[in-house]
């Protein structure tokens, strides 16, 4: 039995700092760093450990493994593939496996989904094919991380749907049939998506004596941080290896559990405390003010206990400012004006975040534009967003299409104009549209020359912009002569490095555009390495294949640098849950549109369900409106408490009478704030 500790407390209580010191103590006591395994639920949450282990107070060359369960599974499968390939039913166990990303998984899943869509089986749910692919892959992942079979997915969804008369049960069965066909294809071709990696690791590799001996000889000390965000099979894994450990430290965030929609099981992971010799519970936080702690208490009581807490001596209203506006643009102007004031007072932009339940394209664009006009740097992160939807990515993809006229894909003139506007510094939207109307003719092999434009139009566009346009046009023409020799990721990398990042072009000092292009490069590189690891003689067809995949709306694979961004000089815009998963503290938060129902609504996904497809959900339980209400309240409670715990100084909350779509706003978060105002009365209010 290991000497073991269970450390529980709220965000900001110093738990990760304690764990890092625990590692220090192990190393000082002559434990080899290689014998320490640090597990985190998401790679980005391992960042504090990475920074600490490379600090000046650590021995040079210290190597401590920081992994997710998925990363541990992949590493084990790579090393011990011959042990399990034949037993697991792969048609070619002598072949090396190919590990699929989200994108490449959807690429292979597409052939089965598209065939099914043509039969009309999914007509009743009105979901585009790329969303169907994503939800079916999510179902496969839910089955794997909860440890049940694919067939159980349909059974659970059908039972939860109840006696409602509809085509939904047949849709659920069709979804599982597609998933089974996809799984059979993977077994025939040695393809490992995330779900198959987890299943192989848990059901085959962990029971192999050779692997168990390797693990026991390699790792003697386990640190598992943020276990409230772990999958249920992580509980199984920890219990499985527990007896072989010399020591263990399990860390639990009391109010966490933000990844429930991805399969996290905070309740189940909390039971692991029963394994530990020592249990320490921290109730105080080192980061937030007494007023913020009081606001946390208010949210906790109102949402968890459905009761009013006793009036506190500390007024929670002192940490918040509530601003009421009639229209959405008024809210945006108010937010930008307050940020300008804060920065004028010497507040670093990196200490400010703007949060919304969902960060739509128009809202993000307006905020980024207004902050840019005010001379304030800003970045955003929306991990679930399709790569094609980022403006910088659309511009790069449009240029990719223009560089391959043989594809016979003709971008709309508006896309060409937008690309020219983005990539050429001296082109405003009007002149970019004028230039596109003159030089671009769908079906023509190449863009027209600026020199061939009438003098009057040249003067309107300006010769300065025309010169940069010519450099871009000539670059695309030169590229065509070597298109067969250039993989898709090389195209984006060269386009950015040789042209778009240079002075005079739009991405020169645009860190957000640089991040997006880097994501596009990584996405294309993973696609190439997964599907064509040995290369091909001609890359043009592969580039076209990748272009089509992105155009179909496939999500980009996880781009770790975008999660690790900690720009000290940039305001951060993100959906609220994305900010929480960064586990980052700031001085000032802006909550947008707090009257919106989106603060507690789940994303509608007709082919999957995060709560029904969970290990602890009763198999015979029908999903009711009461359950939906209860789970929404719990999710909103965790969200609000998590946000407040990550704010050091002040939260600005903005209310609009009419939302972005013009509807009246009366959501539950607004009701909570009204209760707090009525109880304490001294909440700062900024009238329109």
Three-state secondary structure string covering 380-392: ECCCCCEHHHCHH
Tell me the pLDDT band of 558, cut-offs 50, 70 and 90.
very low
What are the C-alpha distances in Å from 179 to residues 150, 160, 176?
Answer: 8, 20, 5
Nearest to 408 by CA among 449, 442, 436, 438: 442
Q: Are residues 545 and 495 in the same domain?
A: yes
Which carries the bigger pLDDT value, residue 69 or residue 550?
69
Tell me the pLDDT band of 687, cut-offs 50, 70 and 90.
very low
% of the chain residues with pLDDT over 70:
93
> What is the distance between the alpha carbons of residues 458 and 460, in angstroms, rounded to a whole number?
5
Q: Is 512 inside any structural domain? A: yes
pLDDT at 405 > cutoff 80: yes
**Average pLDDT of the segment spanning 183-188:** 96
Q: Are residues 126 and 105 in the same domain?
A: yes
> What is the distance between the alpha carbons of residues 684 and 345, in angstroms, rounded to a whole number?
19
Give the least confident one: 163-167, 178-182, 330-334. 163-167
> What is the distance between the alpha carbons of residues 521 and 453, in angstroms, rounded to a whole number?
34
Neighbours of 588 (CB within 10 A): 19
pLDDT at 263 > cutoff 80: yes
SS (H, E, C) 663-679: CECCCHHHHHHHHHHHH
Total number of residues shown for the chain = 688
pLDDT at 204 > cutoff 90: yes
**Average pLDDT of the segment spanning 307-320:** 81
> What is the distance between the alpha carbons of residues 133 and 111, in angstroms, rounded to a whole number?
10
Q: Round the CA-based radius of gyration of the chain to a whole number and report it.
A: 27
**Average pLDDT of the segment spanning 390-402:** 91
> What is the distance between the alpha carbons of residues 105 and 195, in angstroms, rounded to a whole number?
10
Give the least confident one: 151-160, 274-283, 403-412. 403-412
pLDDT reported for residue 688? 43
**Average pLDDT of the segment spanning 376-397:** 80
For residue 113, give the DSSP letter: H
At residue 65, what are phi and psi to the nearest 5 degrees?
-75, 130
pLDDT at 560 > cutoff 70: no
Under 8 Å between Cβ of 54 and 23: no
Q: Are residues 118 and 130 in the same domain?
A: yes
Kindly compute the dihedral angle of the four CA atoms of residues 621, 627, 632, 638, in this order, to the nearest 10 degrees. -70
At residue 502, what are phi and psi to the nearest 5 degrees?
-80, 155
Which token pair is 105? 């998984």
pLDDT at 567 > cutoff 60: no
> What is the distance between the alpha carbons of residues 177 and 171, in angstroms, rounded to a whole number?
10
Which token pair is 622? 């029908």
pLDDT at 217 > cutoff 80: yes
> Across the strands, what pairs with 664?
658
Under 8 Å between Cβ of 33 and 161: no
> Across the strands, what pairs with 378?
571
pLDDT at 538 > cutoff 50: yes
Q: Are residues 510 and 582 in the same domain?
A: no
Q: Is 442 inside any structural domain? A: yes
Q: Are residues 377 and 391 in the same domain?
A: no
What are the C-alpha distances in Å from 355 to residues 47, 380, 569, 573, 590?
Answer: 22, 10, 17, 6, 6
Residues 6+ apart with CB under 8 A from 70: 194, 197, 198
Greatest C-alpha distance within the chain:
84
> What is the distance between the alpha carbons of residues 648 and 100, in angstroms, rounded to a whole number?
40
> What is the distance between the alpha carbons of residues 559 and 350, in angstroms, rounded to a whole number?
21
What are the C-alpha distances in Å from 243 to residues 4, 214, 247, 504?
Answer: 11, 15, 10, 62
Tell me the pLDDT band of 559, cut-offs 50, 70 and 90.
very low
pLDDT at 56 > cutoff 90: no
Highest mean pLDDT among 60-64, 222-226, 591-595: 222-226
Q: Is 80 inside any structural domain? A: no
Query: Domain end: 281, 310, 332, which one?
Result: 281
Under 8 Å between Cβ of 437 and 447: no
Q: Are residues 460 and 338 in the same domain?
A: no
Strands (E) in 311-392, as ranges, are 320-325, 352-356, 378-380
Neighbours of 306 (CB within 10 A): 8
Q: Is 558 inside any structural domain? A: no
pLDDT reported for residue 561? 46
Domain count, the chain: 4
Under 8 Å between Cβ of 439 and 448: yes
> What is the distance between the alpha carbons of residues 336 and 2, in angstroms, rounded to a whole number?
53
pLDDT reported for residue 383? 66
Tell me the pLDDT band of 658, cut-offs 50, 70 and 90.
low
Query: Domain end: 281, 313, 342, which one?
Result: 281
The 3-state DSSP class for residue 599 equals helix
> What CATH number is associated with residue 42?
3.40.50.300
Nearest to 121 by CA among 110, 137, 108, 132: 132
Q: Are residues 190 and 214 in the same domain?
A: no
Q: Are residues 174 and 252 in the same domain?
A: no
Q: Are residues 254 and 377 in the same domain?
A: no
Q: Are residues 194 and 208 in the same domain?
A: no
Residues 6+ apart with CB under 8 A from 501: 507, 508, 514
Under 8 Å between Cβ of 177 and 607: no
At residue 444, what are phi and psi to the nearest 5 degrees?
-80, 145
Query: Domain end: 200, 222, 253, which one?
Result: 200
Its domain, for residue 378, covers 290-384+564-686
Q: Is 83 inside any structural domain? A: no
Half-sphere exposure of 625 (CA within 13 A, CB side): 0
Place of tokens 């263990």: 248
> What is the distance between the alpha carbons of residues 121 and 23, in angstroms, rounded to a whole number?
54
pLDDT reported for residue 306? 67
Q: Are residues 420 and 510 in the same domain?
A: yes
The 3-state DSSP class for residue 232 equals helix
Predicted model pTM: 0.86
Q: Are residues 575 and 682 in the same domain?
A: yes
At residue 560, what are phi and psi to the nearest 5 degrees?
-60, -45
Q: Is 82 inside any structural domain? A: no
Under 8 Å between Cβ of 594 and 667: yes
Q: Is 475 inside any structural domain? A: yes
**Average pLDDT of the segment spanning 38-63:** 83
**Average pLDDT of the segment spanning 452-462:** 90
Q: Is 79 inside any structural domain? A: no
pLDDT at 220 > cutoff 60: yes
Give the least confident one: 384-393, 422-431, 673-682. 384-393
> What is the distance between the alpha carbons of residues 440 and 448, in angstroms, rounded to a whole number?
6
> Across the strands, what pairs with 386?
555
């Amino acid at each position: 039995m290991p000497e073991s500790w269970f450390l529980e407390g709220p965000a900001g209580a110093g738990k990760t700092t304690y764990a890092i010191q625990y590692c220090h103590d192990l190393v000082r006591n002559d434990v080899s760093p290689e014998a320490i395994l640090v597990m985190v639920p998401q790679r980005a949450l391992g960042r504090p450990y990475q920074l600490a282990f490379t600090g000046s107070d650590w021995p040079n060359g210290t190597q401590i493994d920081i992994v997710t369960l998925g990363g541990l599974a992949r590493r084990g499968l790579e090393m011990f593939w011959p042990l399990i390939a034949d037993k697991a039913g792969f048609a070619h166990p002598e072949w090396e496996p190919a590990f699929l990303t989200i994108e490449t998984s959807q690429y292979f899943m597409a052939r089965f989904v598209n065939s099914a869509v043509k039969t009309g089986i999914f007509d009743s749910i009105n979901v585009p094919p790329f969303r169907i692919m994503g939800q079916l892959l999510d179902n496969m992942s839910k089955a794997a991380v909860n440890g049940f079979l694919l067939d159980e997915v349909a059974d659970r969804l059908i039972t939860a749907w109840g006696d409602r008369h509809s085509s939904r049960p047949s849709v659920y069965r069709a979804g599982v049939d597609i998933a089974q066909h996809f799984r059979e294809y993977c077994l025939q071709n040695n393809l490992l998506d995330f779900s198959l990696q987890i299943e192989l690791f848990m059901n085959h590799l962990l029971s192999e004596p050779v692997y168990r001996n390797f693990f026991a000889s390699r790792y003697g000390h386990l640190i598992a941080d943020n276990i409230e965000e772990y999958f249920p099979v992580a509980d199984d894994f920890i219990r499985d290896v527990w007896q072989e450990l010399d020591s263990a430290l399990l860390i639990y965030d009391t109010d966490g559990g933000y990844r429930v929609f991805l399969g996290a099981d905070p309740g189940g992971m909390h039971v692991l405390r029963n394994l530990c010799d020592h249990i320490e519970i921290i109730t105080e936080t080192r980061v937030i003010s007494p007023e913020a702690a009081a606001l946390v208490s208010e949210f906790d009581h109102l949402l968890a206990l459905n009761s009013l807490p006793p009036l506190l001596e500390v007024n929670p209203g002192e940490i918040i400012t509530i601003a009421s506006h009639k229209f959405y643009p008024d809210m945006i102007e108010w937010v930008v004006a307050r940020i300008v004031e804060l920065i004028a007072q010497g507040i670093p932009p990196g200490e400010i975040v703007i949060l919304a339940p969902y960060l739509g394209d128009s809202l993000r664009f307006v905020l980024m534009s207004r902050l840019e006009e005010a001379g304030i740097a800003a970045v955003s992160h929306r991990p679930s967003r399709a790569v094609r939807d980022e403006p910088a990515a659309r511009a790069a993809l449009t240029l990719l299409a223009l560089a391959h006229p043989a594809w016979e894909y003709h971008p709309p003139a508006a896309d060409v104009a937008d690309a020219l506007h983005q990539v050429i510094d001296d082109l405003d939207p009007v002149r970019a549209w004028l230039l596109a109307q003159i030089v671009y003719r769908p079906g023509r092999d190449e863009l027209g020359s600026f020199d061939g434009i009438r003098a009057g139009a040249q003067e309107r566009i300006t010769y300065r912009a025309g010169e940069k346009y010519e450099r871009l046009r000539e670059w695309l023409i030169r590229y065509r002569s070597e298109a067969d020799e250039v993989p898709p990721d090389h195209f984006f990398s060269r386009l950015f490095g040789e042209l778009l990042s240079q002075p005079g072009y739009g991405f020169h000092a645009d860190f957000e555009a640089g991040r997006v292009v880097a994501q596009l490069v990584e996405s294309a590189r993973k696609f190439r390495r997964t599907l064509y690891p040995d290369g091909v003689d001609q890359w043009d067809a592969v580039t076209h294949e990748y272009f089509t995949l992105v155009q179909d709306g496939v999500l980009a694979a996880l781009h770790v640098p975008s999660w690790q961004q900690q720009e000290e000089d940039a305001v951060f815009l993100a959906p609220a849950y994305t900010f929480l998963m960064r586990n980052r503290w700031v001085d000032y938060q802006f909550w947008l549109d707090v009257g919106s129902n989106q603060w507690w609504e789940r994303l509608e996904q007709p082919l999957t369900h995060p709560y029904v497809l969970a290990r602890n959900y009763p198999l015979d339980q029908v999903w009711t409106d009461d359950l939906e209400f209860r789970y929404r309240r719990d999710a909103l409670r965790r969200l609000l408490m998590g946000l407040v715990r990550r704010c050091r100084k002040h939260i600005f909350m903005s209310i609009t009478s009419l939302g972005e779509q013009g509807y009246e706003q009366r959501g539950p978060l607004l009701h909570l704030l009204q209760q707090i105002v009525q109880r304490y009365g001294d909440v700062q209010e900024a009238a329109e």
